[in-house]
Amino acid sequence: MKTTLIKSVKLTLLLCLLLGVGYVFVLWIFAQVASPNKGNAELLTVNGKVIGAANVGQGFTKDIYFWGRPSAVNYKADASGGSNKSVANKEYLQTVKERIDVFLMHHPYLKRSEVPAEMVTASGSGLDPDITPQCAFVQIKRVAQARGMNESAVKEIVEKQIEKPFLGIFGTTKINVLKLNAALDEAHK
């Protein structure tokens, strides 16, 4: 009985070391080789100053900027997560209605049915840094007016920021909101 207990403890410690440290090390090696930025955040810098991490959503609310998806965690990377409320939850439906009203207040040229769902619903992580091109296109008029720019100039900047799926099949067509807003600031100094 005593030898079985000692063997069990040794096996448990060995598996903890192997799976707890070894597995993490294998993932770290894979990130160093296969992922962009060696598994680290892609920090976006403008004029030598870090303005944010491109792979974490930012809370843009001014009319001169394109807005990203709402966040259930107020864009706090250490608190990633959704609201966990179902579409039948009255509180959730009220929140979405309020977001639609705010979006329409800033985009009076849109009808309620034209508000993209992703602009009023948070992503699962609450930190989604990307929007679809359609979400950017509905905001062009507001951003152009707020900046005093021509809509076609803003649309050109948006189109340059569109990222296609990897190899044409992996992922979705998207626009990184932080990169788009940095490109706008650069074009409209």
Domain boundaries, the chain: 1-40, 42-187
Phi, psi for 52 (deg, rounded to 5) = 160, 175
Residues 155, 29: Cα–Cα separation, whole Å: 40
Q: In 117-148, which positions are buried (b, 16+ CB within 10 angstroms) versus exposed (e)? A: ebbbbbbebbbbbbbbbebbebbbbbbbeebe
Neighbours of 187 (CB within 10 A): 14
User: Which residues, in sequence order, are CB contacts of 154 under 8 Å at separation 6+?
Assistant: 140, 143, 144, 147, 184
- Please determine, for residue 78, whether its predicted confidence score (pLDDT) is greater than 90: no
pTM of structure = 0.79
The pLDDT value recorded for residue 113 is 94
Q: Is the pLDDT of residue 96 over 80?
A: yes
Task: Kindly state the helix (H) or strand (E) to which residue 47 belongs, with its residue range.
Answer: none
pLDDT single digits (tens) 103-139: 999 999 999 999 999 999 988 787 889 999 999 999 9
Distance CA 135, CA 129 (A): 13
**89 HSE (CA, 13 A, CB side):** 9
Section 87-93 average pLDDT: 88
H-assigned helices in 18-132: 23-34, 90-106
**Which tens digit of pLDDT belongs to each residue from 139-160?**
999 999 999 999 999 999 999 9
